[in-house]
Amino acid sequence: MYNKKNKNLTPYAFIAPHLILFIIFFAIPAVFGIFISFTNWNIMSSPKWVGFQNYYEILLNKDSTFYMQFHNGLKNTVMFVIFTVPVSIITALSVALALNAKPKGNKFFQSLFYLPSLLSISSVILTWHFLFNRNLGPINNIFNLKINWYGQQPFTWIAIVIITVWWGIGGNMVIYQAALASIPKELYEAADLDGAGAIIKFFKITLPSMKNQLTYTVIMTTIAQFNIYGQPLMFSKGGPKGSTYVLLMYIRQLAFGSGESIAGLASAMAVMLGLCIISVSSLQFFLLRNND
């Protein structure tokens, strides 16, 4: 009886550490954040219940500064996601396909492409800040350009997308390499016998065989890019006329910026951002899962 009871508790013992951390650092803060979004709270005093007033301010009250901030931040965030996610997925897949052909120096290039993902955002931005420098940067000098990458659109967005793709390509590349290595060689041999070309084999064998990995990486990359913060903050400081001022920057400014905290409004913005992430990710999962 004792052994049977221990056996029944064994699975829970394995998941307990992760579950405890999940509850402490995610579940409780998420529930608390949703509650705070319905209050007027400056962090120092007790929250005062205001119902849907915060959501009215950011969603419907066009005369409110917070309405402008929310819509500008969400628009810039969505633009960043639209620009970055396809480029990140296609670039990582292209590199994985090239390395899967086992070229000379395969391991070296694999390490080279993966290395940026190990760097902190600070070191990444400092490096690219120099590379994109208008006067001293090698990019402008090599190509004989005079572009102000920090404060001139659309070049600021282009620079941020390049930085983000370069920084995050490694993780997806490794996943795609593992997926490519698991595809049975017999499928390609049979396709060769049928006279299929490289393009046909890619769309009929390679992509369908990587469907689960592609679904995972597309969803996780989208979630990561919706949480964009460090790149526009450190590289362009919000860009010209706030054109790269993303939603998380407004959320942090309202909750922890100079002056009195407006944590209730910041939480309402964060909840709406979370709902956008859940909606887009669910739609992606449904479309990719059912797209044969």
- Chain position carrying tokens 């006067």: 135
Q: Which helix (H) or strand (E) holds 36?
A: helix 28-36
Cα separation values, 128 from 91, 114, 146, Å: 19, 17, 16
In a domain, 2, yes or no: no
Residue 273: what are its φ and ψ, rounded to 5°? -65, -40
Asked if residue 216 belongs to a domain, the reply is: yes
Residue-wise burial string across 72-96, b where 16 or more C-beta atoms lie within 10 A, e elsewhere: bbbebbbebbebbbeebbebbbebb
pLDDT digits (tens, 9 = 90+) for 249-284: 999 999 998 778 899 999 999 999 999 999 999 998
- Is 32 a member of any domain? no
Q: Which residues pair with 39 in a beta bridge?
A: 49
Q: Does some domain include residue 141?
A: yes
Is 198 part of a structural domain of the chain? yes
Residue 285 lies in a domain: yes
pLDDT band at 161 (very low <50, low <70, confident <90, very high): very high
Q: Which secondary-structure segment (H or E) carries 102?
A: none
What's the pLDDT score for residue 7? 61
The range of the structural domain enclosing residue 221 comes to 37-290
Whole-angstrom CA distances from 36 to 21, 48, 61, 258, 269 are: 22, 9, 20, 20, 11
Question: Using CA atoms, how far apart are residues 10 and 6, in angstroms rounded to an integer?
Answer: 6
Q: Is the pLDDT of residue 144 over 70?
A: yes
pTM for the model stands at: 0.88
Residue 7 lies in a domain: no
3-class DSSP state for residue 39? strand
Percent of the residues in the chain that have a pLDDT greater than 90, as a whole number: 72
Task: Identify the pLDDT of residue 198.
Answer: 87
User: Does 14 reside within a domain?
Assistant: no
Total count of domains within the chain: 1
Q: Summarize pLDDT for 41-89 with one digit per residue, the tens.
A: 988 889 999 999 999 999 999 999 999 999 999 999 999 999 999 999 9
Spatial separation of the C-alpha atoms in residues 120 and 35, rounded to whole Å = 33
CATH number, domain containing residue 182: 1.10.3720.10
Q: How many CB atoms lie within 10 A of CB 58?
A: 24
